[in-house]
Chain A
Amino acid sequence: MNALTIALPSKGRIKDGTVEVFEKAGLAISAVGNDRSYRGRVEGIEGVEIAFLSASEIARELANGAVDFGVTGEDLVREGMAGPDQKVEFCARLGFGQADVVVAVPEIWLDVETMADLGDVAADFRARHGRRLQIATKYWRLTQQFFSSQHGIQLYRIVESLGATEGAPAAGQADIIVDITSTGSTLRANHLKILSDGVILKSEACLVRARKATHDEDPRVARIVEAVRAAL
């Protein structure tokens, strides 16, 4: 049997949380060689390897089927591939790494509290300002789905923002943002507010399985999923 690969974040809160959950599940993880190694193994189960990757790479490797399991934020998985529910299975929500992907607008937009308000503003934007409403985000896929499919808002432009997105409206790079927030404090500090129906996704760290036909008959796959679920 081929080795199964579980991709884990190579650093940070999600890595620490995952190591803890796996340990509780009786699947202790040890690095191969030294602590900084990017390969690891799982104690007590044969033929399972750990690959430590960056969080955003994990979503990509899951989409390609290059790894069997991955632990990463649901936001990155849903943003990182088309048709995620066909490609992967969310096996367990791990209870840490919680963060919401939200639509936030300047606090001073007193007239905008809901997506419907935003729809009105977007529809008129070009006539008033000579350009479409601009949204700074790194989540272009989630933004499109939420705005177009769920709220019928078509007329806006995405401005890609890879960092410090909250600063974009005040700096004039965009009018509003779609970003991740856990406590909302950064949004408040930048005088932004979340729309009342503007939560696109309540994300947290998840154990995610790439859907592969070979998994159906593989006892190790079922064992990993069950052990992790039991540890939660």
Chain B
Amino acid sequence: MPLIDMPDFSTDLLNEFAARRTERVNTPVIQPAEPFLDMAGEDLRRRIFLTESETGANLCLRPEFTIPVCLRHIETATGTPKRYSYLGEVFRQRREGSHEFYQAGIEDLGDTDIAGADARAIVDATGILKALLPAGRLELTLGDQAVFEAVVRALGLPLGWQKRLIHAFGDMAHLEALLDRLARPQPVTGLDREVTELIASGNEAELIARIDRTMEETGYSTNASRSPTEIARRLKEKLELAETRLDGGALLLLREFLTLQLPLAEAPAALAGFADAADLKLGSAIALFDARLTALANAGADLSAMTYRAAFGRPLDYYTGLVFEVTQAGSSAVLAGGGRFDRLLTLLGAKERIPAVGFSLWLDRIDTARSGVAGGKVETGFRADPPREEKTSQ
């Protein structure tokens, strides 16, 4: 392998990975495109380099490592826990900067000590960055989807509304739109009168039969993805959700929570205070948050350089808890981004649930930072990027 274009600190980096007892893995540069589009959404299509095989299969140049590393883990079926590291080129269509650049990182699969594994990912990412950038002052921003989920649950909203809010977490514009709807419920209009009556009288069986008949008549039965039952049940749920109004106080609480931003060391007290004042039971999410912080402190992490931001999340459905990113003081360029993705492996086809946490290092930005060039532009406008990148725009 010609290595002359690799960053000059690659050897140091690989030594750091080895010292952390990771197993270095490689994955092919040419990857099936479907898993990336399936996981990150169609928006990714214009950000990756797509091609087709002779037989029509969608292929792409590796846009990131997490999905290929996880797929490889599932295929090789070597069991957990596993700590994988990688270093290699990734390919993205970017408005600024090169289309091909190096990324490295660690994926920690199957460790059931969630708080411990979270803390280790943070300590590893910051420790490696410190080794590569001895002169720089690092800053870390941390978010936790599980805490947001706990707040939403504790507010006592119907399940459907909980799902909507949790799904939008990390996308402030979408979240704001949902909060507006909760503040000013709009009744559902334009529904067929007979359908309305069937729902009002609770005659679900007849409603389902009616939908089924129409589907038969219009030729939608054979290939229907959504069954009459699914449609009828969601219609009923929708009518209920449309009447849900979150009272002003609760709405204010939710908004107040989303503006929380404070030194990480002060976050447990602030969250406990918030829960008390609002009379919300945040239970296990807070316990995990605190346990992670304890694990960080025990590992000797520099908590003074870490900030908790309650609204920080990634709006992709496989992220479950911790998210974090690391910058250098005075720069907005994200040098490392990471998080917990406990749902990814089952979405990719793993038979059992495998807890997972990891991080990626942006070697081109680290290289720029090492050469002392200030700033470093950050791509903006990214939302549906694969793991780790998009937060920079939020």
Residues of B close to A169: CB separation below 8 A: 220, 223
Are B383 and A120 interface neighbours, CB within 8 A? no
Are B234 and A107 interface neighbours, CB within 8 A? no
Task: Name which of A16-24, A29-37, A151-159 contacts chain B.
Answer: A151-159
Within 8 A of A (CB), among B192-217: 192, 195, 211, 214-215
Are A110 and B211 interface neighbours, CB within 8 A? yes
The answer, among B42, B192, B383, for a CB contact under 8 Å with A157, is B42
Residue B286 at the A interface, CB < 8 A? no
Are B41 and A120 interface neighbours, CB within 8 A? no
Residues of B close to A152: CB separation below 8 A: 168, 171, 173-174, 177, 315
The answer, among B163, B191, B383, for a CB contact under 8 Å with A110, is B191
Pick the most buried of B46, B226, B231: most chain A CB atoms within 10 A of its CB: B226
Residues of A close to B160: CB separation below 8 A: 120
Residue A129 at the B interface, CB < 8 A? yes
Are B223 and A108 interface neighbours, CB within 8 A? no
Q: How large is the interface on A (under 10, 10 to 19, 20 to 34, 35 or more residues)?
A: 35 or more
B385: min CB distance to chain A, Å: 10
Pick the most buried of B42, B190, B232: most chain A CB atoms within 10 A of its CB: B42
Pick the most buried of A120, A121, A196: most chain B CB atoms within 10 A of its CB: A120
Are B43 and A154 interface neighbours, CB within 8 A? yes
Are B220 and A191 interface neighbours, CB within 8 A? yes
Residue B154 at the A interface, CB < 8 A? no
Kindly state the separation between the CA atoms of A120 and B161 in the bound complex, as whole angstroms: 10
Residue A64 at the B interface, CB < 8 A? no
The answer, among B230, B235, B238, B316, for a CB contact under 8 Å with A128, is B230
Residue of A nearest to B164 (CB): A120
Kindly state the separation between the CA atoms of A113 and B222 in the bound complex, as whole angstroms: 23
Residue B53 at the A interface, CB < 8 A? no
B203: min CB distance to chain A, Å: 14
Residues of A close to B223: CB separation below 8 A: 169-172
B67: min CB distance to chain A, Å: 15
Residue A27 at the B interface, CB < 8 A? no
Supposing A140-B45, A144-B45, A169-B220 touch, asked if A157 and B234 sit within 8 A by C-beta, the answer is no
Supposing A82-B46, A144-B45, A148-B43 touch, asked if A172 and B222 sit within 8 A by C-beta, the answer is yes
Residue of A nearest to B238 (CB): A111
Residue of A nearest to B43 (CB): A148
The answer, among B219, B234, B316, for a CB contact under 8 Å with A121, is B234
Are A123 and B42 interface neighbours, CB within 8 A? no
Residue B384 at the A interface, CB < 8 A? yes
Are B38 and A123 interface neighbours, CB within 8 A? no
The answer, among B171, B192, B222, B238, for a CB contact under 8 Å with A117, is B238
Are B211 and A154 interface neighbours, CB within 8 A? no
Residues of A close to B167: CB separation below 8 A: 123
Residues of B close to A149: CB separation below 8 A: 383
Supposing A111-B231, A152-B168, A170-B220 touch, asked if A144 and B177 sit within 8 A by C-beta, the answer is no
Kindly state the separation between the CA atoms of A152 and B167 in the bound complex, as whole angstroms: 10
B256: min CB distance to chain A, Å: 22
Residues of B close to A222: CB separation below 8 A: none
Are A108 and B215 interface neighbours, CB within 8 A? yes
Residue A70 at the B interface, CB < 8 A? no
Residues of B close to A156: CB separation below 8 A: 41-42
Kindly state the separation between the CA atoms of A42 and B32 in the bound complex, as whole angstroms: 51
Supposing A121-B226, A169-B220 touch, asked if A109 and B46 sit within 8 A by C-beta, the answer is no
Residues of A close to B347: CB separation below 8 A: 126
Residues of A close to B214: CB separation below 8 A: 107-108
Give a binary string over B105-129; 1 marks a CB under 8 Å from any A CB, 0 the rest: 0000000000000000000000000
Residues of B close to A128: CB separation below 8 A: 230
Residue of B nearest to A173 (CB): B223
Are A111 and B235 interface neighbours, CB within 8 A? yes
Residue B290 at the A interface, CB < 8 A? no
Residue A230 at the B interface, CB < 8 A? no
Give a binary string over A186-213; 1 marks a CB under 8 Å from any B CB, 0 the rest: 0000010000100000000000000000
Residues of A close to B181: CB separation below 8 A: 116
Residues of B close to A172: CB separation below 8 A: 222-223, 225
Residues of B close to A140: CB separation below 8 A: 42, 45
Are B41 and A155 interface neighbours, CB within 8 A? yes
Kindly state the separation between the CA atoms of A124 and B232 in the bound complex, as whole angstroms: 15
Give a binary string over B311-335; 1 marks a CB under 8 Å from any A CB, 0 the rest: 0000111000000000000000000
The 8 closest A-B pairs by CB, nearest first: A172-B223, A152-B174, A154-B41, A111-B235, A191-B218, A111-B234, A123-B167, A148-B43
Q: List 25 A-B contacts (CB under 8 A).
A: A108-B218, A108-B220, A110-B192, A110-B231, A110-B235, A116-B181, A121-B234, A123-B317, A129-B226, A132-B38, A140-B45, A148-B383, A149-B383, A151-B174, A152-B168, A152-B171, A152-B174, A154-B40, A155-B317, A157-B42, A170-B219, A170-B220, A172-B223, A191-B218, A191-B220
Beyond known contacts A111-B235, A140-B42, A148-B383: 12 more, CB 8 A cutoff: A82-B46, A107-B218, A108-B231, A110-B192, A110-B211, A110-B231, A111-B234, A121-B234, A123-B167, A144-B46, A152-B315, A158-B45
